[in-house]
Chains A and B, each alone.
Chain A
Amino acid sequence: MATADLSAPGGFRRRFSIAHWGIAGREALAGYLFTAPALIGLLSFTALPIVASLVLIFLNYDLLTPPTWASGSNISRLFDDSRMLIIYRNTVQLVAGATFLNNVLGLLLAVGLNRSMPWILRYILRTSIFFPVLTTTASLAVVWRFLLTQDRGVVNFLLGQIGLDPVPWLSSSRWALISATIYDVWKSCGFLMVIYLAGLQGIPVVYYEAARIDGAGRLQQFRNVTLPLISPTAFFAVVISLIGAFQIFDNVWVLTSGGPGDASRTITMYIYEKAFRGFEMGYASAVSFTLFMVLICLTLGQFWVARRWVHYE
């Protein structure tokens, strides 16, 4: 059996010289080099913080004084935290409402805009619907706060003009979360509309022609051609809107500050408050970990369910 003689003159250099790696080796190296910046970023800004967060769960740390060992107290505290249950309930309601409405409205708007119409009208409609996506969430939330104020708010003034009583949009536990959902849908559905529009425009016309020849009406075409063929797009849209909804923070922060009471507080707000207002980094990490687990379960669940309703051509 022949063995490489690294002690031979030039042996070591030849062994590690790129010129002798072969095409596969050189391609692999190029691949590693190209992905290195992204990998370094991922490790530094995602993986390391996750590990640090896991470690923090077992510490009491207030950012300014050295951490002390907390054992499992931050974890056991999760089970005694009655506020967290209320806040998770709010979050689930907000996520469900925003994800459902964003996707349904986004799809309906995309279908509407995918029809033939004068180009100028199409341009104006697309721009108008997409425009809120381009503006900053917090500044628009300030505007909405003025619009929705119970006393002297514009929306209640208009409701009054048609004989309706003022609605406590931001100050009632019943309405605060609904207001936050309405705002999120207004702000985000334009983005999903664009995604769905791209999906719709990728469907070959021949499928519709074939369906028409088979006598399918508009509704049947939508159900049997459009929906199955945009299901990969819809899957993508649902996943990103669901994760985005779990991360809702700034609009609720500006609109209601989580109130009244805890009525519109979301889990991300709660984590922020525990970490940067209470300086309880350990407990904030423990709550973050529960959110991490919820998101993992939801994403895995979605992939499992997707096998039944997502159709790839």
Chain B
Amino acid sequence: MLRLSGLGVVGAALAACVAPDGASSGDAGTAAQEPVGIIATTQMPVNTFDNSIERSLEQLPNIALEVNANGWGGGGWDGYSDTLLTRIAGGEQIDVIMIAIEGLGLLAAKNVLVPLDGFIQADPEAEEILMNDVHVTLREMLQVDGQQMEYPFSWNNMVMYYNTAVFEEVGLEPPANDWNWDDFLEACLAVARVTGGADDRFAYSFWGGGMFGMAAWYFNNDTSPLSEDWLESNVLDPKVLETLQFLADLILVHKVAPNPEGWDEWAQFHAGNLVMRTCGRWCIGGSLEADFTTYNIQYQPHQAGPIRTVAGTDGWGISTSSENPDEAWEVVKLLSGTDASLDMVQLGGNIPALRSVAEMPLFADYGPANTALFYETLDFAATVPSPPNFNAVEPILNRNYATIWNGEKSVEEAMQAAHDELVPEMAKLQG
């Protein structure tokens, strides 16, 4: 019996060896159709791309697309970049990377991104969109040494969100688009109700230290915490000190702003306990979720120099570790396209890089009355300071800002301490 079984096995093996060509080629055909796995990672809520994954099944049948979230790592773009690099160093497969200008220099310096110029030149449609439907400022923000490292997807500037109901309640006119710091302070004093009780209402809350949030104030006072080439510390500039003193006074002297450390700006704004906040378009998402509608937006108040708004762009790029860069490029186009942009707009996310989408009526539908302001500012937008060592610079500034907001150090002392830390850090870029 065993002998018979053995003969059967040998027979089956021989039969397999001499199987007709059609059968084996059919297997090979199945293997060839096996989709290529492409993994994209993003800082946005991953549900932003649920519809894109659905579309990929139809439009890119040879690709199995996965979009996963890359954590903020307890910080902003600095933490995001660190988490991303750690994942890549750990050998994790990441083919397509979303990164903003703040982390782009670091990733480029670490040779994590493939320049996209070759892909773009070989793809006239993508080149046409990039050249004609994306503002030059956004396009150039994602270039390093003249090479396009990311394909722009979305961007943000910082505007002042304000609670229209509270302004009405205290008899204040909506802020004008040329309001200055004095006007802003006047509005703060008018709307704040702070007694240390449960029904406190703060006039304004700002990011404690995020580069993007602080740049919105610095730029409107014609200064920046770094030199124009982002290679040197500029925190001892009198205008930087003036800006910080103005913000510190809101907390410590006028008592119209809370210490931003630990303060939940989102919840308090929607609860009516915070009247004004500086934020980008992504804050609309929270308001949509909370069904909060009594707000509008205005430019940041201005103090000195030309009117400027801070802007930062993000986009999709291809990882040098990707084994399938051609498929990754197809995914980059899918995730940067009109449909993906519309999905983001409807969730209250960033401003789309595609002008054609920003000009659609839908863009205005998902935002406050002044929504047009978002895209209008691009012509006088300045890029958020984003040196390649952004992940080191931002924490240095944050640590030292915190000692101003709690009143433990004067603005001068804190910035001297920051400067002392920044000088050796920035020197690494020059060496």
Contact = CB atoms under 8 A, between A and B. Distances in A.
A145 B262 contact: yes
A277 B200 contact: no
Contact of A171 (B111, B259, B399): B259
B210 to A, nearest CB: 13
Interface in A234-292: 253, 256-262, 273, 276-279
Given A276-B86, A277-B79, A168 B259 contact: yes
A230 interface: no
B385 to A, nearest CB: 18
Nearest to A281: B89
A173 B406 contact: yes
A157 interface: yes
A170 B262 CA distance: 7
Number of chain B interface residues as a range: 35 or more
Contact of B82 (A168, A253, A261, A277): A277
Contacts of B197: 157, 160
A17 interface: no
B408 interface: yes
Interface in B386-401: 391-392, 395, 398-400
A93 interface: no
Interface string B77-104: 0110010011011000000000000000
A61 B380 CA distance: 41
B289 interface: no
B262 A64 contact: no
B406 A171 contact: yes
Interface stretch (A4-12, A112-120, A123-131, A146-154): A146-154
A148 B261 CA distance: 11
A63 interface: yes
Contacts of A173: 403, 406, 408
Contact of B406 (A64, A148, A260, A279): A260
Given A64-B111, A170-B261, A152 B273 contact: yes
B202 interface: yes
A53 interface: no
Contact of B110 (A62, A157, A166): A62
B406 A168 contact: yes
B367 interface: no
A172 interface: yes
Number of chain A interface residues as a range: 20 to 34
B258 A151 contact: yes
B121 interface: no
B392 A278 contact: yes
Contacts of A157: 197-198
Given A257-B74, A259-B261, A64 B88 contact: yes
A135 interface: no
A65 interface: yes
Interface in A134-170: 145-146, 148-153, 157, 160, 165-166, 168, 170
B264 A149 contact: yes
B263 interface: yes
B155 interface: no
Given A64-B112, A152-B273, A277 B395 contact: yes
Nearest to B261: A171
Given A65-B110, A261-B403, A278-B392, A171 B88 contact: no
A272 B73 CA distance: 11
A241 B273 CA distance: 42
A149 to B, nearest CB: 5
Given A63-B86, A259-B402, A172 B408 contact: yes
A64 B202 CA distance: 45
A143 to B, nearest CB: 12
Nearest to B90: A63
- Determine which residue in A152, A253, A273 has the highest number of CB atoms from chain B within 10 A of its CB, and name it: A152
Contacts of A261: 399-400, 402-403, 408-409
Given A146-B264, A277-B82, A64 B89 contact: yes
Nearest to B194: A151
Given A63-B89, A276-B86, A150 B262 contact: yes
Contacts of A63: 85-86, 89
A260 B264 contact: no
A262 B414 CA distance: 12
A157 B195 CA distance: 11
B263 A151 contact: yes
Contacts of A260: 261, 399, 402-403, 405-406, 408
Interface string A191-207: 00000000000000000
A253 B74 contact: yes
A146 B79 CA distance: 22
Contacts of B6: none
Given A64-B110, A260-B261, A279-B85, A152 B406 contact: no
Nearest to A166: B196
Contacts of B78: 277
Contacts of A262: 399
B268 interface: yes
A285 to B, nearest CB: 15
Given A149-B264, A259-B399, A171 B405 contact: yes
A24 to B, nearest CB: 44
Interface string B233-270: 00000000000000000000000001101111000100
A152 B193 CA distance: 13
Contacts of B408: 172-173, 260-261
A221 B201 CA distance: 57
Given A64-B111, A261-B403, A160 B196 contact: yes
Contacts of A273: 395
B202 A172 contact: no
Contact of A149 (B110, B263, B400): B263
8 closest Cβ contacts across the A-B interface?
A63-B89, A260-B402, A151-B258, A171-B261, A259-B402, A149-B262, A261-B403, A171-B406
5 contacts: A65-B111, A149-B262, A150-B262, A168-B406, A277-B78
Given A171-B406, A279-B82, 4 more contacts: A63-B85, A65-B110, A166-B196, A279-B85
Interface of A: 62-65, 145-146, 148-153, 157, 160, 165-166, 168, 170-173, 253, 256-262, 273, 276-279
